[in-house]
Amino acid sequence: MQQSAQRSGSRAGRWQARMTAGVVGYLVFVEFTSGVLQGYYIPLLTDIARHLGINDADVNWLEAGQLMLSAIAVPVLAKLGDLHGHRRMLLWSAAVVAVATIVLAFAQTFPVFLLAWAVQGIYAAWLPLQVALIYSRSRGLPDTAARTRRATGLIVAALQLGAIVGALSGGVIGDLLGDALWLVLLAPGVLVVGVVVVVWRLVPEGTDRMQGVVDSGGAALLTAVLLVVTGGLTFVRLNGAEQAWPWLVVAAGLLLVWPFVRYELRQPDPLVDFRVLRSSAMWPVQLTAGLFGVSVLGAQGPLSTFARTDPDVYGYGLGLSTSSVSLVIGAYVISMLVGASQFARVSRLTTPRLTLIGAAALVATGYLLLVPFHDELGQVLAGMTVAGVGSGALVAALPAAAAAAAPAGRTAVATGLTNTTKVIGGMFASSVFALALAAGAPVLAGGVEGTAGSLTGYVTVWAICGSTALIAAVALVFVPRLAFADPAQTEDRTVAAREETAG
């Protein structure tokens, strides 16, 4: 009887594993499309800026607006996923992104473009919803955490592959159809519509559910914090850093964080569960996600515009064409693909904690190398490749680590929180980088103001990206040594350590 039960349990486990693998296969396409969206527009940013009549520094406000909306939408959608189904929220968010992508192509003014661009950023919720769905469908298997890490590495690898394809195709299509920018911008919409169909028809729902309601008060307070801070930074950009009152607006927004945290701690079912952050395995992960967002989300616009800046006119920059910039972005994303695809293997050989520390250190090294070495294409490629390997590993590792450290029924909230903190870090970085690039903007012969950002601003961007990644590596040292590992792996390493000590 016992053997029969064991065989039955083994068959059920194999069936569950096959079902999980099938789900991952469909989600690969979803995350591939997310990657295309993240890479496609980067080589086109200068063209978009000229089309909308804005300077290169103002491109960062597009990123800031998108990241701000993402920071609000991700925790809400993650919470709704835990309450009503991760697949359901994935489907609805994909539909909204599809509409925004199509509107983006036909926008003729900066406000409309900014609104559509911001709404499109809801795709940031796709990854945490998918990780939670995978974790839910593999729950009960003996290697749930390891299986989630492998699956997350696979879909993140698809994301990076999509970013490569997006960056290369964006550059090529931009060169071929440059006179019809609306048609260039419409191309990604076809893939997003495909995501809606795939999720609707092929992706099954998860099994985990939790009781509760969406914390609308918390969402309102979070929105207020982000709007006031971003608004203050916008006023600094428009009125000049020497004016005091815009900085007071920024300070008021930061002070609103305190009542937001106090309010959330009083809620039985908060939007952002700060109690989860008290775990020694969780707070360094979330801090790392926020600091990592500075570089992975905030620095892509400056990288693109620096590569397009003509050194013969401004004395710095790489002077690349749209298609050539796509090759630079492609090289960076290929290195991210390598990091994402190898992080699970490196974690098995070492520990997930050491993998996270090493990845953050690589990001820091790559960006700090750009501070002195940025005059030639080879130098920029070398720095971005080193940073890219670490970035790819972190993109894959952070949501999986949060899922492993989260209590049952809160995986989407925990993984969503990594994206929330990441986009908040990217939002602040984009706003600050816009100010840095605008400060000391070059003036051309005849007193004509140039459209390029300042060299000092670019160096500041790279220094901030490297420093924040270094701080993240230090924070991860405080994670328990065997955090995020499966129980069997933890037991094996503990036994090995005891034997080594006894020997």
82-117 per-position pLDDT tens digit:
787 888 888 999 999 999 999 988 888 888 888 899
Cα 97 to the chain's mean position, in Å? 16
Average of per-residue pLDDT across 150-174: 80
Q: Answer whether 415's CB lies under 8 Å from 132's CB.
A: yes
What is the residue-averaged pLDDT of the chain?
78
Residues in Cβ contact with 321 at an 8 Å cutoff, skipping those fewer than 6 apart: 175
3-state secondary structure (DSSP) of residue 22? helix
Q: Answer whether 75's CB lies under 8 Å from 420's CB.
A: yes
Average of per-residue pLDDT across 236-247: 74
Of the pLDDT bands very low, low, confident and very high (cuts 50, 70, 90), residue 496 is very low
**Tokens standing for 497?**
């350590």
Q: Answer whether 210's CB lies under 8 Å from 192's CB.
A: no
Average of per-residue pLDDT across 465-489: 75
Residue 320 identity = L
Q: Answer whether 40's CB lies under 8 Å from 373's CB.
A: no
Q: CA separation (Å) from 26 to 54, 90, 233, 475?
A: 39, 12, 40, 35
Residues 405 and 281: their CA atoms lie apart, in Å, by 6
**Virtual torsion, Cα 484, 486, 490, 493, nearest 10 deg:** -100
288-346 per-position pLDDT tens digit:
888 988 888 778 778 878 888 888 877 888 888 777 777 777 788 788 888 877 877 88
Q: What is residue 450's DSSP assignment?
A: P
**Tokens standing for 471?**
């701080």
Residues 94 and 467: their CA atoms lie apart, in Å, by 35
